[in-house]
Chain A
Amino acid sequence: MSEVTEAGPLWAALAPVALLALATVGAAVAHTQAARARGEAALSGVGLPFVESARLLRQRRRVTVAADRVLWQVAIGGLPVVAVLMAVVVPVGPVVLVDSPVGVVWFNAMDVMLWALWWLAGWGPNSAHSLMAGHRFLGLALAYELPLMFALTSPAIAAHSLRVADLAAAQQGLWFAVWMPVAFLVFLGAAVAFASWGPFAVAAHADLAGGVLAETSGVDRWLVLVGRHLVLAAAALMAVPLFLGGGAGPLLGPVAWTVVKAVVVLAGLELVAGRVPLVRPERFAEVGWMVLLPATVLQMLVAAVVALGGAS
């Protein structure tokens, strides 16, 4: 058992702000890449998340005819909330908001919530393109979810625990990312997919006029876009105790190392946008079930054998 202390309520109030700051870094990376591709000066994209936020926060909200306003708002507001709930079980150095004995399962439950939210975001506006995009996300989710579950299970097996702090502590000497590369890569890929980002941005892409974003404007759109970066940030943060040894590292303290590692992972996730074409769900289903699922099961087997060997 590794020692982490649960943070007090004051920290709980600060946590969403901290996650938002991390997500802002991520958004700045993504905007910078896009701005450079358009031919703008190298660092001109850094301020764009703020420019975009200011623009959206003073924009009017559109409501479509016969929209399912309640469910639409649930989806829009739900994305940032779920992202924060994902992050609460992640220890940052010696402190964690919720020291749950089943933190890994909690994270998994939150990412499954995203199925509902993306679909509802497509259902809500009563619009053809949005609805199709929402359904398309479910098609993708069917392909990534099971490999993701097994990818989350492998480190838990190796650490004999579902408590996130124990996972971080179990990696003294060798990171799980090094000897469980399949689980690590599947986790990262699934993070991009459940944030509907980059090659897996099937819920919000140009080929369906923006998909779930086709009818969304103003603060609603802001919440969806921010929610997406928050989800990516939460996933990057989770990757640190899960695969990258938590706060362990020389010189800098555990808090700093956690943040540094999370920023590096997040930048990687953000930079995948636009570099590769959109992966169609019907194509990815084949890969998900025929390649990734067996691969992650094998990975789990390896983790189990190693864990048994270590225990005897």
Chain B
Amino acid sequence: MGVTRIRRGVHVLTSTAADGVLVRLAAERAVRTLGWVLAWSPADADVLVVCGTPEGAEADAVERVWQQLPGPRARVRLDDPQDVSDALVAAAAALEDRAAQEGLAHDADMVAQMSTQGGEDMDHAGMDHEDMDHGDMDHSGMNHDQMDHSHMDHGGMSTGGPAGIPLAEGASKDRDDLEMDAWHVVLGQGLPGWPAGLVLRVELHGDVVTDLLVLAEPTPHGRRDTPVQAALLLDAAASVLDLAGWSLAASASRRARDDVMEGRDPAEVAPRVERLARRMRRSVLLRWSLEGPRRRTTGDAPSAGHLVRSRAIGLLEAAGSMLTAPERGAPAQRPYDLDDLPALAVGQELATLRLLVAGLALDARVAADV
């Protein structure tokens, strides 16, 4: 049963280890040229592309993300940007392989069954659930938002909630003086636009962040060539734009990124990037959506929204100037850093935290920046 034509519209989730950022760029470019789509969550994905070599807890996380793909599913691990296209085509062929898919489906059912053993209700055939903190402080799991508790605490759990999951603990008063349940969510791989190697544990009242802990931080890599660095900035800008909902602008930024990585003349790409930066600066809706109706008066501390917007525009402007004048190097501007994240994000919605994280452009961070 040969696959004569490569399928269109395959959804791909990338999971990136610290050394896999450039592989991810290549993979996303290949996804685009094949007419495929980047997935927003494991449930949305057909193919899991593991970029780089995940180690330790990270490898466990990849395994859990993999278990959450509904199937038909395929997984590829890539070290070399050169191999990407062939590997993706092979993955598409694997999706059509009936026998292999039946085996994978059987595996998934076994995992699901294991996860419900001890739970009183066999109906709950899933393998993941939301990640309230179950008292186990082992946060080795950094997949997406679901921590898989299949091997941990379903057995002897007797407290309250459904399927042995304890209910969220009550917290004192929240931002708006309401009594809310506090829940804990681990944010990491598998989220769209999430930087490689970063793991956060947030405490939430509803969707308001009340506490934030950095569980794992990506190590910055060595200095890169100017065009590559510019491409990484464009990539980060695309992530911010995607999370802000302006997906057409995000696509434009990704295309510019891919053109740079393909070796297109930077001087040719630069005007497009600058035009995009101008559009962003002029967009009344983007300003209003991120910053709110009130203009900032001088002297005020900038809000998270102000920082995200200026950072996103700054990313594009920096990329543009690196492309036009590579000899000048990266213009240093970083209105906030990972250390500022707790102070900025506490009191904000989870969505704002996501924007702040994307704005950090951690994938583009080089050692000298820190």
Residues of chain A whose beta carbon lies under 8 Å from any beta carbon of chain B: 33-35, 37-40, 44, 47-48, 51-52, 55, 58-67, 69, 125-132, 135-136, 199, 201, 205-210, 213-218, 221, 273-280, 282-283, 286
Select from chain A the residue with minimum beta-carbon distance to B43.
A217
Q: Are the C-beta atoms of B248 and A209 separated by less than 8 Å?
A: no
Select from chain A the residue with minimum beta-carbon distance to B150.
A65
Which residue of A209, A273, A283 is within 8 Å of B145 (Cβ)? Answer: A209
Q: Are the C-beta atoms of B41 and A213 separated by less than 8 Å?
A: yes
Alpha-carbon separation in the docked complex, A209 to B42 (Å):
9
CB of B229 closer than 8 Å to a CB of A: no
Q: Are the C-beta atoms of B193 and A39 separated by less than 8 Å?
A: no
Alpha-carbon separation in the docked complex, A125 to B130 (Å):
8
Q: Looking at the assembled complex, report how far the CB atom of B25 sits from the nearest CB atom of chain A, in whole angstroms.
A: 15
Select from chain B the residue with minimum beta-carbon distance to A62.
B70
CB contacts (< 8 Å) of A214 on chain B: these are 40-41, 43, 145
- Asked whether A63 and B125 contact (CB < 8 A) given A55-B9, A218-B70, the answer is yes
6 A-B residue pairs with CB within 8 Å: A66-B162, A128-B131, A132-B206, A206-B243, A218-B70, A275-B246
Q: Are the C-beta atoms of A66 and B165 separated by less than 8 Å?
A: yes
CB of B72 closer than 8 Å to a CB of A: yes
Alpha-carbon separation in the docked complex, A58 to B41 (Å):
18
Alpha-carbon separation in the docked complex, A65 to B192 (Å):
23
CB contacts (< 8 Å) of A201 on chain B: these are 245
B218-226, B269-277, B285-293: which lies at the interface: B285-293
CB of B296 closer than 8 Å to a CB of A: no
CB of B16 closer than 8 Å to a CB of A: no
Q: 0/1 per residue, B25-67, Cβ < 8 Å to A?
A: 0000000100100001101101000000000000000000000
Q: Are the C-beta atoms of A277 and B285 separated by less than 8 Å?
A: yes
CB of B252 closer than 8 Å to a CB of A: yes
Q: Looking at the assembled complex, report how far the CB atom of A4 sits from the nearest CB atom of chain B, in whole angstroms.
A: 40
Q: Are the C-beta atoms of B123 and A207 separated by less than 8 Å?
A: no
Select from chain B the residue with minimum beta-carbon distance to A65.
B129
Residues of chain B whose beta carbon lies under 8 Å from any beta carbon of chain A: 7-11, 32, 35, 40-41, 43-44, 46, 68, 70-72, 105, 108, 115-116, 119, 121, 123-132, 144-146, 149, 161-163, 165, 183, 185, 190-193, 204, 206-207, 242-248, 251-252, 254-255, 283, 285-286, 288-290, 292-293, 349-351, 354-355
Q: Are the C-beta atoms of A283 and B128 separated by less than 8 Å?
A: no
Interface hub of B35, B68, B190, B283 (most chain A Cβ within 10 A): B35
Q: Is the interface of A mostly helix, strand, loop or mixed?
A: loop
Interface hub of B9, B35, B124 (most chain A Cβ within 10 A): B9
Q: What 5 additional pairs, Cβ within 8 angstroms, besides A59-B72, A206-B192, A276-B283? A: A132-B204, A136-B207, A199-B245, A208-B350, A218-B70
Select from chain B the residue with minimum beta-carbon distance to A59.
B70
Closest 6 pairs (CB-CB, A-B): A278-B245, A65-B129, A217-B70, A66-B163, A274-B247, A37-B251
Q: Are the C-beta atoms of A213 and B44 separated by less than 8 Å?
A: yes
Q: Are the C-beta atoms of A60 and B108 separated by less than 8 Å?
A: yes
CB contacts (< 8 Å) of B132 on chain A: these are 128
Q: Are the C-beta atoms of B246 and A215 separated by less than 8 Å?
A: no
Q: Are the C-beta atoms of A279 and B285 separated by less than 8 Å?
A: yes
Alpha-carbon separation in the docked complex, A37 to B129 (Å):
35
Which residue of B11, B145, B289 is within 8 Å of A277 (Cβ)? Answer: B289
Q: Are the C-beta atoms of A65 and B165 separated by less than 8 Å?
A: yes
CB contacts (< 8 Å) of B192 on chain A: these are 206, 209
CB contacts (< 8 Å) of A66 on chain B: these are 119, 121, 124, 129, 161-163, 165
Select from chain B the residue with minimum beta-carbon distance to A206.
B192
Q: Are the C-beta atoms of B289 and A207 separated by less than 8 Å?
A: no
CB contacts (< 8 Å) of A213 on chain B: these are 40-41, 43-44
Which residue of A44, A216, A280 is within 8 Å of B43 (Cβ)? Answer: A216
Alpha-carbon separation in the docked complex, A199 to B289 (Å):
10
CB contacts (< 8 Å) of A209 on chain B: these are 40-41, 144-145, 190-192
Alpha-carbon separation in the docked complex, A67 to B112 (Å):
13
Q: Are the C-beta atoms of B70 and A277 separated by less than 8 Å?
A: no
Q: Are the C-beta atoms of B246 and A274 separated by less than 8 Å?
A: yes
CB contacts (< 8 Å) of B162 on chain A: these are 66, 126
Q: Looking at the assembled complex, report how far the CB atom of A28 sits from the nearest CB atom of chain B, in whole angstroms.
A: 13
Q: Are the C-beta atoms of A206 and B163 separated by less than 8 Å?
A: no
Q: Are the C-beta atoms of A277 and B244 separated by less than 8 Å?
A: yes
Q: Are the C-beta atoms of A221 and B105 separated by less than 8 Å?
A: no
- Asked whether A273 and B32 contact (CB < 8 A) given A60-B70, A65-B128, A208-B350, the answer is no
